[in-house]
């Protein structure tokens, strides 16, 4: 984490400075280069790395997750060289916020895949299109959020208060509670979309007795997209607390989201091992909510934001792993006490 903190420290141009957020001018070709790069990464992942359906192993997921994280972190250098240290500090802070908040999303996916008994070799294809849809929806949320903040400054306090309420809600729940059978979107789909309970490879639609029917993969994809809308409502205001530049906010979101598939295959079976992660996420959201509400009076330096995020994540993960280790050491006898 030291290089990240160092980059953020360089972003701060004086304690007495009032302000505020980095201001950058991104030419149209800059946006084109970013979108082209994201597209190339997506296509390479689909047609080269995962061209054949297979169950992703833990080792493969660990390697891919490391590569995606390296790409996301290295983009900090691109932002620093192009726009300076202030912008780089905002980018990496936004990236860490989105990456940490995405963990809850991963565990929700695990519940959905388990409920619909999605074969492991087909899960990647669902997540690929889910990530593609998430990028489009995040872009809409980001530009809408920036436009709102520019036009109505009082929305700052609404976003900040919302994040505080969300922080309390996340910190208090003990595990990710998802009940697909109660999902109104699922009930609506079952009513209006002719579907079958049988899988047909990786196909979203198939034909049965001359009728075109949606397979369970299509239903799961729609639910994955729906859950991302819910999580975007939390994460986008959180990142807008550290930057107001659409390019910085979108790129930090995009590079964090691109690695979510690998992160899912890495963490999907480990939900119970991170029992205190929700507390850490609650602290992060609470901090950015307060930061958003007081930014008109005092703008906390970027290094402080990074330090709070890193510390909250580290403490919650270490505490979770230690608690899990104590339970394993206690064994059955400890569970009966």
Instruction: Give just the sign of the alpha carbon dihedral 43, 46, 50, 51.
Output: negative
Task: Report the chain's C-alpha Rg in angstroms.
Answer: 21
In a domain, 337, yes or no: no
> What total of structural domains would you count in the chain?
1
Q: 208: which strand partners?
A: 211
DSSP state, residue 174:
S
Give me 81's structure tokens. 């060289």
Phi, psi of 229 (to 5 degrees): -60, -45
Residue ranges in the chain modelled with pLDDT below 50: 1-19, 174-176, 335-337
Nearest CA among 60, 241, 287 for reference residue 142: 241
In a domain, 85, yes or no: yes
Is 335 part of any domain? no
Domain-located, residue 115: yes
Is 181 within the bounds of a domain? yes
Cα gap 147→276, rounded to integer Å: 35
Q: Can you give the pLDDT at residue 18? A: 33
pLDDT at residue 271, as a whole number: 60
Reference 169, options 241, 222, 233; nearest CA is 233
What is the rounded distance in angstroms from the CA atom of residue 153 to the CA atom of residue 119? 48
Q: Which has the closest alpha carbon to 308: 263, 248, 262, 241?
A: 241
Pair of tokens at residue 53: 């359906």
- Length of the chain, in residues: 337
Q: Is residue 219 part of a domain?
A: yes
Confirm whether 336 is domain-assigned: no
| pLDDT tens figures, 55-76 | 788 888 889 999 999 999 999 9
The domain in which residue 233 lies consists of 2-11+26-329
């Amino acid at each position: 984490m030291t290089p990240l903190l160092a980059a953020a420290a360089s972003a701060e141009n004086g304690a007495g400075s009032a302000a505020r957020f980095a201001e950058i001018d991104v030419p149209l070709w800059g946006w084109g280069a970013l979108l082209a790069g994201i597209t190339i990464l997506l296509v390479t992942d689909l047609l080269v790395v995962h061209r054949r359906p297979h169950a992703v192993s833990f080792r493969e997921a660990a390697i891919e997750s490391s590569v995606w994280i390296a790409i996301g972190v290295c983009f900090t250098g691109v932002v620093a060289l192009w726009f300076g240290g202030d912008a780089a500090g905002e980018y990496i802070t936004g990236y860490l916020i989105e990456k940490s908040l995405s963990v809850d999303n991963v565990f929700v996916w695990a519940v959905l895949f388990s409920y619909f008994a999605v074969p492991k070799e087909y899960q990647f294809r669902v997540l690929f299109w889910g990530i593609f849809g998430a990028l489009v929806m995040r872009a809409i949320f980001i530009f809408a959020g920036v436009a709102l903040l520019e036009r109505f400054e009082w929305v700052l306090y609404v976003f900040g208060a919302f994040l505080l309420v969300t922080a309390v809600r996340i910190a208090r729940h003990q595990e990710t509670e998802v009940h697909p059978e109660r999902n109104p979107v699922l009930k609506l789909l079952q009513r209006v979309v002719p579907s079958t309970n049988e899988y047909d490879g990786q196909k979203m639609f198939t034909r049965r007795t001359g009728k075109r029917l949606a397979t369970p993969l299509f239903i799961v994809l729609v639910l994955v997209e729906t859950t991302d809308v819910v999580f975007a409502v939390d994460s986008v205001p959180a990142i807008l607390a550290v930057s107001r530049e659409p390019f910085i906010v979108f790129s930090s979101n995009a590079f964090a989201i691109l690695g979510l598939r690998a992160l899912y295959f890495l963490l999907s079976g480990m939900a119970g091992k991170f029992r205190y992660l929700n507390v850490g996420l609650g602290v992060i959201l609470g901090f950015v909510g307060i930061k958003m509400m007081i930014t008109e009076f005092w703008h906390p330096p970027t290094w402080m934001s990074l330090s709070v995020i890193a510390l909250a994540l580290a403490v919650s993960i270490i505490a979770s792993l230690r608690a899990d280790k104590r339970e394993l050491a206690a064994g059955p006898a400890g569970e009966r006490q």
